[in-house]
Amino acid sequence: MAGSSQTAAAGAGGSAMAPAYLALAAAALFWGGNWVLARWIQNQFPPQTLSLLRWGSAALFLAPFAIGPTLRVWGEVRREWKRLAILGAIGVTGFSSLSYTGLSFTTSINGSLLNTAAPVFILILAALGFGERISMAEVAGIAVSIVGVLVIIARGSLATMAAMEVNAGDAIVMVAVLLWAVYTVLLRVWRIQLPPMVFLFTTIVLSLPLPIATAALEYALGAPAPAPDAVGLIAIVYLGLFPSIGAYACWNYGVRRAGAARATLFQYLIPVFAAVLAVALLGEQVRLYHVAGAALIVGGLLLATRAKAR
């Protein structure tokens, strides 16, 4: 009887967590789709224009719901506007602008896999910039993950790794990932106390001057004008709604219900969803070095995060 009671309790607990797990998986799917769709429509929109359209449309979609709450805490927004602008420029439009530029030269599978290395940079920055102690197990985990990143960047070629011949797109994506790590660490340090919707809306709006400027520069340097078809326009709506708003909403809900530790594991679904979509929509191929690099990155992260938890 006791055993059946425990089983029933475990089943009930699992059922209670099902909405949270579904939300976290949906967030991973939306973010995975971001990498693939951006690659799919790269011939219709220059990368800086794509970043501007994504976040500009996200701001428009959010505005009817966010303007009222923002005005109610306007004093706090005014006090924090400089930090909000910095966070937006780094982790919102800056990250996506560099990611989309990188996707002009590399595959969506590579981009999404390299993105999983963000926690490694977060650990390193927290140690170097803010004095957080790192154990030997964490150092080992970081080292293993970095090897995984190198395997993907070098396409599994020792000769490429030895010659330090890096694909430009992979290098740009890694800079974007580094920006995301800086954004994450600054979030932890600054701890801006605003409602989630207000925080997202204000960081988006305050960061829009960056892609406006880079898009203008893009055209000044000879980039072609956007030439969207129906798929391209639908993709812009998707990018503005799902990776930019829906994913954050699902992620925040999942973290609140399931906890940060469990939620982190769902990040590893992002390259899985991206790979499935890339194979189906773009005809990309999953190579052995993708599998090997992903295994090293995830293995190193698990080693480092478990050591951190202990």
d(CA 232, CA 240): 12
Nearest to 166 by CA among 90, 119, 108, 114: 114
* pLDDT value at residue 16: 77
* pLDDT value at residue 9: 45
* pLDDT value at residue 261: 61
Spans of all domains in the chain: 19-309
pTM beyond 0.85: the answer is: no
pLDDT in tens, 132-144: 677 787 778 878 8
Instruction: Look up tokens 């530790």; give the residue.
Output: 261
d(CA 298, CA 303): 9
191 φ/ψ sector (left φ>0, alpha ψ -120 to 50, else beta): left
pLDDT in tens, 9-62: 445 555 778 888 899 999 989 999 999 999 999 899 999 999 999 999 999 999
Burial label for 221, CB within 10 Å (0-12, 13-18, 19+), is exposed
Check: CB of residue 69 under 8 Å from CB of residue 207: no
* pLDDT value at residue 96: 94
Instruction: Look up tokens 């800079």; give the residue.
Output: 175
**pLDDT tens digits, the chain, 310 residues: what are they?**
444 444 444 455 557 788 888 999 999 899 999 999 999 998 999 999 999 999 999 999 999 999 999 999 999 999 999 999 999 999 899 999 999 999 999 889 888 888 877 877 877 887 777 666 777 877 788 788 788 877 877 777 766 655 556 788 989 999 999 998 888 888 878 888 899 899 999 999 999 999 999 999 999 999 999 989 999 999 999 999 999 999 988 988 888 788 766 777 788 788 888 888 998 888 888 888 888 888 888 888 777 766 555 5
* pLDDT value at residue 121: 82
d(CA 304, CA 145): 9
* pLDDT value at residue 117: 79
* pLDDT value at residue 2: 46
d(CA 285, CA 116): 19
